[in-house]
Protein backbone atom coordinates (compact mmCIF):
# COMPACT_ATOMS: atom_id res chain seq x y z
CA UNK A 1 0.00 0.00 0.00
CA UNK A 2 2.82 2.37 0.94
CA UNK A 3 4.73 1.39 -2.21
CA UNK A 4 1.62 2.07 -4.29
CA UNK A 5 1.11 5.51 -2.70
CA UNK A 6 4.82 6.31 -3.21
CA UNK A 7 4.39 5.44 -6.88
CA UNK A 8 1.49 7.91 -7.17
CA UNK A 9 3.52 10.58 -5.37
CA UNK A 10 6.47 10.10 -7.75
CA UNK A 11 4.17 10.17 -10.77
CA UNK A 12 2.50 13.29 -9.42
CA UNK A 13 5.82 15.03 -8.85
CA UNK A 14 6.99 14.00 -12.32
CA UNK A 15 3.78 15.37 -13.87
CA UNK A 16 4.15 18.58 -11.90
CA UNK A 17 7.77 19.19 -12.98
CA UNK A 18 6.95 18.17 -16.53
CA UNK A 19 4.09 20.70 -16.54
CA UNK A 20 6.36 23.42 -15.15
CA UNK A 21 9.02 22.71 -17.81
CA UNK A 22 6.43 22.62 -20.59
CA UNK A 23 4.92 25.90 -19.40
CA UNK A 24 8.39 27.49 -19.28
CA UNK A 25 9.25 26.29 -22.80
CA UNK A 26 5.95 27.48 -24.25
CA UNK A 27 6.15 30.81 -22.42
CA UNK A 28 9.75 31.34 -23.52
CA UNK A 29 8.79 30.51 -27.09
CA UNK A 30 5.95 33.06 -27.06
CA UNK A 31 8.25 35.65 -25.49
CA UNK A 32 10.80 35.14 -28.26
CA UNK A 33 8.10 35.28 -30.93
CA UNK A 34 6.66 38.42 -29.33
CA UNK A 35 10.12 40.01 -29.12
CA UNK A 36 10.81 39.15 -32.75
CA UNK A 37 7.49 40.67 -33.79
CA UNK A 38 8.24 43.84 -31.83
CA UNK A 39 11.70 44.03 -33.41
CA UNK A 40 10.16 43.74 -36.85
CA UNK A 41 7.63 46.53 -36.17
CA UNK A 42 10.28 48.84 -34.71
CA UNK A 43 12.72 48.09 -37.55
CA UNK A 44 9.93 48.90 -40.02
CA UNK A 45 9.30 52.23 -38.30
CA UNK A 46 13.02 53.05 -38.43
CA UNK A 47 13.08 52.17 -42.13
CA UNK A 48 10.13 54.55 -42.69
CA UNK A 49 12.14 57.31 -41.04
CA UNK A 50 15.07 56.90 -43.45
CA UNK A 51 14.03 59.76 -45.68
CA UNK A 52 14.61 63.42 -46.29
CA UNK A 53 12.79 65.78 -43.95
CA UNK A 54 12.22 68.97 -45.91
CA UNK A 55 10.84 72.36 -44.92
CA UNK A 56 10.38 74.56 -47.97
CA UNK A 57 9.62 78.20 -48.74
CA UNK A 58 9.22 80.05 -52.04
CA UNK A 59 10.49 83.58 -52.66
CA UNK A 60 9.98 86.01 -55.52
CA UNK A 61 11.31 89.54 -56.06
CA UNK A 62 12.14 92.08 -58.76
CA UNK A 63 15.71 93.32 -59.01
CA UNK A 64 16.50 96.57 -60.84
CA UNK A 65 19.83 97.76 -62.14
CA UNK A 66 20.58 101.08 -63.83
CA UNK A 67 23.88 102.49 -65.05
CA UNK A 68 24.84 105.65 -66.92
CA UNK A 69 27.54 106.38 -69.46
CA UNK A 70 28.58 109.86 -70.59
CA UNK A 71 31.47 111.54 -72.33
CA UNK A 72 34.07 113.12 -70.05
CA UNK A 73 33.00 116.62 -69.12
CA UNK A 74 29.63 116.30 -70.86
CA UNK A 75 27.71 114.34 -68.22
CA UNK A 76 25.42 117.27 -67.48
CA UNK A 77 24.53 117.59 -71.16
CA UNK A 78 24.15 114.00 -72.30
CA UNK A 79 24.30 110.52 -70.81
CA UNK A 80 23.35 107.16 -72.16
CA UNK A 81 21.45 105.01 -69.65
CA UNK A 82 20.92 101.30 -69.58
CA UNK A 83 18.43 99.52 -67.35
CA UNK A 84 17.53 95.95 -66.68
CA UNK A 85 14.89 94.39 -64.45
CA UNK A 86 15.22 90.79 -63.35
CA UNK A 87 12.55 88.52 -61.93
CA UNK A 88 14.18 86.34 -59.30
CA UNK A 89 12.40 83.30 -57.91
CA UNK A 90 14.00 81.07 -55.33
CA UNK A 91 13.09 77.87 -53.55
CA UNK A 92 14.72 77.58 -50.13
CA UNK A 93 14.89 74.27 -48.29
CA UNK A 94 15.95 73.18 -44.83
CA UNK A 95 16.62 69.44 -44.81
CA UNK A 96 17.54 66.62 -42.45
CA UNK A 97 18.85 63.59 -44.34
CA UNK A 98 17.76 60.78 -42.02
CA UNK A 99 19.34 58.23 -44.35
CA UNK A 100 22.56 59.34 -42.67
CA UNK A 101 21.15 58.80 -39.17
CA UNK A 102 23.23 56.42 -37.03
CA UNK A 103 20.81 54.17 -35.13
CA UNK A 104 21.14 50.67 -33.65
CA UNK A 105 18.44 48.15 -32.69
CA UNK A 106 19.29 45.82 -29.78
CA UNK A 107 16.51 43.22 -29.84
CA UNK A 108 18.09 41.12 -27.06
CA UNK A 109 17.97 43.91 -24.50
CA UNK A 110 14.94 45.59 -26.13
CA UNK A 111 16.79 48.83 -26.66
CA UNK A 112 16.95 51.45 -29.44
CA UNK A 113 20.20 53.38 -29.55
CA UNK A 114 20.15 56.67 -31.47
CA UNK A 115 23.81 57.62 -31.89
CA UNK A 116 23.70 60.62 -34.19
CA UNK A 117 21.47 62.65 -36.52
CA UNK A 118 22.92 64.70 -39.38
CA UNK A 119 22.73 68.50 -38.99
CA UNK A 120 20.16 70.57 -40.85
CA UNK A 121 21.21 71.86 -44.28
CA UNK A 122 19.96 75.06 -45.93
CA UNK A 123 19.90 75.07 -49.72
CA UNK A 124 18.63 77.72 -52.13
CA UNK A 125 17.62 77.02 -55.73
CA UNK A 126 17.35 80.32 -57.66
CA UNK A 127 15.65 80.90 -61.00
CA UNK A 128 16.47 84.22 -62.68
CA UNK A 129 14.73 85.56 -65.77
CA UNK A 130 14.98 88.91 -67.57
CA UNK A 131 11.77 90.88 -67.12
CA UNK A 132 12.72 94.08 -68.94
CA UNK A 133 15.82 95.58 -70.55
CA UNK A 134 16.51 99.04 -71.97
CA UNK A 135 19.88 99.90 -73.49
CA UNK A 136 21.28 102.22 -76.12
CA UNK A 137 23.64 101.72 -79.00
CA UNK A 138 26.37 103.57 -77.09
CA UNK A 139 25.81 101.85 -73.77
CA UNK A 140 25.00 98.17 -74.03
CA UNK A 141 25.13 95.32 -71.51
CA UNK A 142 27.95 92.87 -72.01
CA UNK A 143 27.68 89.19 -71.12
CA UNK A 144 29.89 89.76 -68.08
CA UNK A 145 27.67 92.69 -67.02
CA UNK A 146 24.55 90.53 -67.09
CA UNK A 147 26.21 87.62 -65.27
CA UNK A 148 27.36 89.99 -62.53
CA UNK A 149 23.88 91.50 -62.19
CA UNK A 150 22.33 88.02 -61.99
CA UNK A 151 24.69 87.07 -59.18
CA UNK A 152 23.83 90.24 -57.25
CA UNK A 153 20.13 89.62 -57.81
CA UNK A 154 20.40 86.09 -56.40
CA UNK A 155 22.42 87.35 -53.42
CA UNK A 156 19.74 89.99 -52.81
CA UNK A 157 16.97 87.39 -52.67
CA UNK A 158 19.03 85.02 -50.50
CA UNK A 159 19.34 87.79 -47.90
CA UNK A 160 15.54 87.96 -47.63
CA UNK A 161 15.21 84.25 -46.79
CA UNK A 162 14.10 83.65 -43.22
CA UNK A 163 16.53 80.84 -42.42
CA UNK A 164 15.51 80.80 -38.77
CA UNK A 165 11.89 80.03 -39.63
CA UNK A 166 12.98 77.38 -42.14
CA UNK A 167 15.11 75.65 -39.52
CA UNK A 168 12.27 75.79 -36.99
CA UNK A 169 9.86 74.16 -39.45
CA UNK A 170 12.36 71.40 -40.28
CA UNK A 171 13.10 70.89 -36.57
CA UNK A 172 9.40 70.49 -35.83
CA UNK A 173 9.09 67.78 -38.50
CA UNK A 174 12.19 66.03 -37.16
CA UNK A 175 10.79 65.91 -33.61
CA UNK A 176 7.50 64.51 -34.94
CA UNK A 177 9.30 61.74 -36.83
CA UNK A 178 11.51 60.80 -33.90
CA UNK A 179 8.49 61.07 -31.62
CA UNK A 180 6.77 58.25 -33.53
CA UNK A 181 9.71 56.02 -32.63
CA UNK A 182 9.65 57.13 -28.99
CA UNK A 183 5.93 56.42 -28.78
CA UNK A 184 6.32 52.96 -30.33
CA UNK A 185 9.16 52.07 -27.97
CA UNK A 186 7.12 53.16 -24.96
CA UNK A 187 4.14 51.10 -26.17
CA UNK A 188 6.22 47.92 -26.38
CA UNK A 189 8.23 48.58 -23.24
CA UNK A 190 11.51 49.14 -25.05
CA UNK A 191 14.17 51.59 -23.90
CA UNK A 192 15.59 54.41 -26.01
CA UNK A 193 19.16 55.46 -25.47
CA UNK A 194 19.28 58.78 -27.27
CA UNK A 195 22.76 60.29 -27.51
CA UNK A 196 21.72 63.26 -29.65
CA UNK A 197 21.03 66.87 -28.70
CA UNK A 198 17.30 66.27 -29.23
CA UNK A 199 17.00 63.78 -26.35
CA UNK A 200 15.91 66.26 -23.62
CA UNK A 201 13.13 67.69 -25.80
CA UNK A 202 11.85 64.28 -26.91
CA UNK A 203 11.90 62.80 -23.40
CA UNK A 204 10.05 65.83 -22.06
CA UNK A 205 7.29 65.28 -24.64
CA UNK A 206 7.00 61.49 -24.73
CA UNK A 207 7.99 60.39 -21.22
* 10-residue averages of pLDDT along the chain (207 residues): 51 47 42 63 82 88 80 54 88 93 90 94 91 75 88 88 92 93 90 95 88
**Which H or E run includes 205?**
helix 199-206
Q: How far apart are alpha carbons 91 and 158 in whole angstroms?
A: 10
**What is the DSSP annotation of 65-77?**
EEEEE--TT-TTT
What pLDDT is attached to residue 44? Answer: 82
What pLDDT is attached to residue 25? Answer: 41
What pLDDT is attached to residue 40? Answer: 79
Taking the whole predicted model, whether its pTM rises above 0.75 is answered as no
What pLDDT is attached to residue 143? Answer: 87
What pLDDT is attached to residue 65? Answer: 86
Q: How far apart are alpha carbons 85 and 114 in whole angstroms?
A: 50
What pLDDT is attached to residue 47? Answer: 84
Amino acid sequence: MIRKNLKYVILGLFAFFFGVMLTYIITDKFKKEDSNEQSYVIAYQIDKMNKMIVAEQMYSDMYNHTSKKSLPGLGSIYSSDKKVTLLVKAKAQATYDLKQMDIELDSVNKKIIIKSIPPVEIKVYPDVSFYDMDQSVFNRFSKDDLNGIKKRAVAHVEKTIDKTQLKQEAHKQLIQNLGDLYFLAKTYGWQIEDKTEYAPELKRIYY
